[in-house]
Structure 1
Amino acid sequence: MKELSVWTRPRPQRREQPALSREQIVAAALELLDAEGIDALSMRKLGTRLKAGATSMYTHVASKEELLELVVDEVYGEVEPPVPGKDWRAAITRYARGVRAGLLRHPWIGSVLGEAGVAYLGPNVLRLSESTLAVFEAGGFSLEGADRALNTVMAYVIGRATSEAAWLTRLARSGQSEQEWAERLWPAAERAVGAYPRLAALYAAQRGQDQRESRDREFEEGLECVLDGLETRLR
């Protein structure tokens, strides 16, 4: 029977001098994904990159799906876990920023996060989840409330970050900067919203803004709204 996840399958026994390790495979896959995107990843291409045969590859990873589970957990391993303390909002804010930064460093990740099994049982994800639950509990949430708060924050962060990642990936393919894209698109956008006064007012106010700063500000303001809501429920 096929395993549900790479984390439910026993890890193969190490040989005395293995030709290739799981860690090497994951590192090479992450490098390939960052350089060329999700469509470029295949077991054959990865094997060529590592100068390894199929046998040594499949000893550690049974499929591309399993490989993605490992790589996604590796990305989460880059995030600093939050530390429980007096100010749960400050700790969660730092954590949310760290998750967003990690997802934007690896923009391909948004296309696989929704797949069943990906990363949910990975050691790095479990470590981060445990730490974040502890932060909420220290802030006064029940364990069940902490779980709901964690899910809410992560839904916001992943939703925002994956949308940003898709946008940045498209920009990279076009060869333009955010500012160049905005300046070219803005006249047409203003004409399109001309019959909608609220949208027209928003577009007029936003024209000429630094796009990177605007994205950062919108993320921070949205996160504050989420945390305000959680704090209201806590009270």
Structure 2
Amino acid sequence: MANAERLDRERVIKAAVELLDSDGLDALSTRRLGTVLNSSPNVMYWHVGSMENLVGLATDQVFAELTLAIEGASWRDDLAQTARDLRLLFSRHPWLTEAFSTHPRIHGPAIVRFQNHLLQVCSRAGFEGFDLDWAGASVFTQVLGDAWGRTPSPMPKDRTTTPTEIVEQVRGDLADYPLLLERYEALANADPGTVDEASFEFGLTVLLDGLQARLNQRPPAP
């Protein structure tokens, strides 16, 4: 096996991200990393400390992928683009959803940069005080909720339930709820990718409209 001198913090974090991308958060362990890096599992702790710290380091590593440019025609454009870029990040690294749900104190330079970006865009819009904090947080929460909703449920590898089969399974339970049954059937017959994108854009537009309405409620300047 390789000794500790042949490893460094960057290699361990890179290996952790690759393992998380391929197998998810539950697969991350010092034993798995030791196997990947051909080293003793205990050596990992010399470079990254605890497993919780490693999750934070891996999360911060992928957040560095965000461009975070402020160049739109309006604050709405920049905030919308930030939300879309963040959504793509969650799509590339699905384990981020669970990471933020189970490790709420994740911190690091790239995450701080992202938080500051949200504050800058929302400050440009005119938010102040706690409204400034909450406006940025609402965007992150919107994307996190979308990512959580798109996380597939564990299913046997030899079994895939189609939307039509799901409708048939619940049809009896929805006999007294015709509107709900109608919406189940409509979704079953729609293209999943199109619905997924339209659903996110709908929620994002409603959020931005709500933020604009909040700004419009401000008392006029003296």
TM-score bracket, normalised by the shorter chain, equals: 0.7 to 0.9
Match for residue 154 of structure 1? 140
Measure how far apart 1:175 and its partner are. 6.0
Q: In structure 2, list runs of 5 or more residues that go unmatched.
A: 217-222
Paired AA for residue 186 in structure 2: A
Aligned match of 1:142:
128
**Whole-Å Cα distance in 2 between the matches of residues 118 and 104 of structure 1?**
21
Find the residue that maps to 2:162 and give its secondary structure. helix
Residue 51 (structure 2) aligns with:
64
Is the alpha carbon distance of 1:117 and 1:56 closer, same or farther for their aligned partners in structure 2, counting shifts above 3 Å?
A: same
Percent identical residues: 32
What amino acid sits opposite 2:163 in the alignment? A
CA drift of 1:72 comes to 1.1
Shift of 1:161: 0.8
Change (3 A) 1:175 1:127: farther
User: Paired residue for 2:178?
Assistant: 197
Kindly state the Cα deviation for residue 133 of structure 1 after the two structures are TM-superposed: 1.0
TM alignment of 1:34-45, pairs within 5 A: 34-45=21-32
Does the 8 Å CA contact 1:69/1:117 hold for their aligned counterparts?
no
The residue that corresponds to 2:8 in the other structure is 21
CA deviations on 1:142-191 (whole Å, 9 max, x unpaired) are 253221101111112111212212x2x636x64677xx622332322334
State which of 80, 95, 115 in structure 2 corresponds to 1:108. Answer: 95
Secondary structure at the residue paired with 2:149? Answer: helix
Deviates more, 1:199-208 or 1:26-35: 199-208
Deviations 1:109-130 (A, max 9, x none): 22221334542x2111100111
SS of 1:134 mapped into structure 2: helix
Alpha-carbon distance in structure 1 between the residues aligned to 2:111 and 2:159: 34
Structure 2 counterpart of 1:170, which letter?
P
Runs of 4+ in structure 1 off by over 6 angstroms are: none
Q: Which residue type is aligned with residue 175 of structure 2?
A: G
In structure 1, runs of 5+ residues without a counterpart are: 1-16
More divergent stretch after superposition (36-45 vs 84-93): 84-93
Over the aligned positions, Cα root-mean-square deviation in angstroms equals 2.3
Matched, 1:183 2:143: no
User: Partner letter of residue 188 of structure 2?
Assistant: R
Does the CA contact (< 8 Å) of 1:112 and 1:118 recur in 2? no
CA separation in 1, counterparts of 2:69 and 2:158? 36
Taking the aligned partners of 1:143 and 1:87, their CA distance within structure 2 comes to 21
Is the alpha carbon distance of 1:66 and 1:175 closer, same or farther for their aligned partners in structure 2, counting shifts above 3 Å?
A: farther
Q: CA 1:220–1:40 in 2, change beyond 3 Å: closer, same or farther?
A: same
Give the corresponding residue for 1:126. 112
Contact 1:103 1:109 (C-alpha < 8 Å) held by counterparts: yes
CA contact (8 A) 1:77 1:124 kept: yes
CA spacing shift, 1:187–1:55, aligned 2, 3 Å: closer
Q: For 1:222-233, what aligned pairs fall within 5 Å after superposition?
A: 222-233=203-214
Give CA deviations for 1:94-118 in whole Å, capped at 9, x if unaligned.
Answer: 1111111111222222222133454
Preserved contact between residue 135 and residue 211 of structure 2 (Cα < 8 Å): yes
Residue-pair matches, total = 213
